[in-house]
Amino acid sequence: MLVVLAQKPIASLENDIRAFDAFGAKTQRLEQDGIPYFVNEFWTAGQRQAHAIHEVSYRACFKPQLPEFFIGRLTRPGDAVYDPFMGRGTTPVQAALQGRRPIGADINPLSVLLTRPRLAPPSLAAIERRLAEIPWRDDELERDDLLAFYHEDTLRQICALRRYFLDHAPLDREPDPVDDWIRMVAINRLSGHSPGFFSVYSLPPNQAVSVEAQAKINAKRKQTPPLRDVAKLILRKSRALLSDGAPAPHPRAVLATSEAWRTPFIADGSVRLIVTSPPFLDVVQYANDNWLRTWFAGIDASAVKISAHRSQEDWSAMVRACFEEFARIVEPGGHVAFEVGEVRGGKLLLERLVWQAVHSLPFERLFVLVNSQRFTKTSNCWGVGNNAKGTNTNRVVVLRRK
């Protein structure tokens, strides 16, 4: 049972941000077109600085330090923290790690499969026992075309594991936690660029290339898929994910496959904080990236209607619909941190579309927090002088429910 300790009153977020200097720089306050901006490095750019259980690959996901920043300042243990575009589950998992109630949704059924097991993981001993019980040998190869990615014997193991999950952990019922965990890790290990994955060298593991593209990679690199021990790799990845321990006790999670603007499973005024990042304007093709994962999980990818908005007007209408629903579920005094990043080479500032879209809704538009960090890639942050190596940013619209 979670014990909620008495907390000090939550300090003014704006004052905290103005005074922030944890990485050696003072926060800059800027304004353009009536929108206040606060610019600084508010969380580290370093890789793998968060809890190990977050290390599940998913394209276009933000770092755990982003929700951690807001959860720690705007909520108390036991409060509900929600992400309606949860992707790999960064916000719900971080909420659990901080003793909050995780709530998450995504139109992609993969999101629940990637998130749920990490909120209450089984022991390594239980994982190892279950891996020993699974019938790994299967003489049927369901898809010969996947031999572009896998050694024949590796593919037989993958097909056997897939068939095991379709029989023992169908998507329409609550699975055994150990099976749920093993499936999550297997989905994460399907393809990648190191010997820790089931496949031959491919693109980084947050997306899967087509069979044709993989064949071209193989020809260019003069490579053939090596034999992999699927069970051994699942156990190795499980040890890595659990190396910092499991989340501490926290209130029961609520996860759903749902559109962000229609969430009847969430009660009125029950959410203290939303931390999320919606699909940007036609930037990422989630269905194409996840085709291999959806095949393995038994998901009909053609039935997953992931938003891909081609016009500013359509995207703004989607944002408006989301905030109309947020107005119902966020309690008065609660907050929304809505991360929109950069698109079209920094020429289109999505935070301004958000600022306009929420006009007249019961939210106080506080400011845009720009997390500015130096990388070797070239990008642009409005209002911040770039250096020779460029700047990378998160752009977070912060609002308070009236």
Regarding whether 256 and 188 lie in a shared domain, the answer is no
Residue after which a domain boundary falls, among 178, 209, 241: 241
Please check whether residue 119 lies inside any domain of the structure.
no
259, 231: one domain: no
**Average pLDDT per run of 10 along the chain, which is 402 residues long?**
40 87 91 93 76 88 92 96 96 97 95 97 98 86 93 95 94 93 97 95 82 96 97 98 94 96 97 94 66 93 71 92 98 96 70 96 96 51 38 82 96
Residue 4 lies in a domain: no
pLDDT value, residue 7: 42
Are 287 and 387 contained in the same domain? yes
The answer to whether position 7 is within a domain reads: no
Rounded (10°) CA dihedral 152, 108, 82, 241: 0
Residue 181 lies in a domain: yes
- Number of domains the chain contains: 2
What domain range includes position 263?
Answer: 13-109+251-401
pLDDT at 385: 41
10 Å CB burial of residue 45 (0-12, 13-18, 19+) is middle
Host H or E run for residue 180: helix 177-188
At 378 the pLDDT is 30
298: Cβ contacts below 8 Å, ≥ 6 apart: 162, 165, 166, 170, 171
Kind of pairing, strands 363-374 and 391-401? antiparallel
Q: Are residues 234 and 211 in the same domain?
A: yes
Last residue of a domain, one of 223, 241, 259: 241
Asked, for residue 8, whether it belongs to a domain, the answer is: no
For residue 246, tell me if it sits in a domain: no
Q: What is the CATH number of the domain that holds 340?
A: 3.40.50.150
Q: Are residues 255 and 397 in the same domain?
A: yes
204 and 267 in a single domain? The answer is no
pLDDT at 290: 85
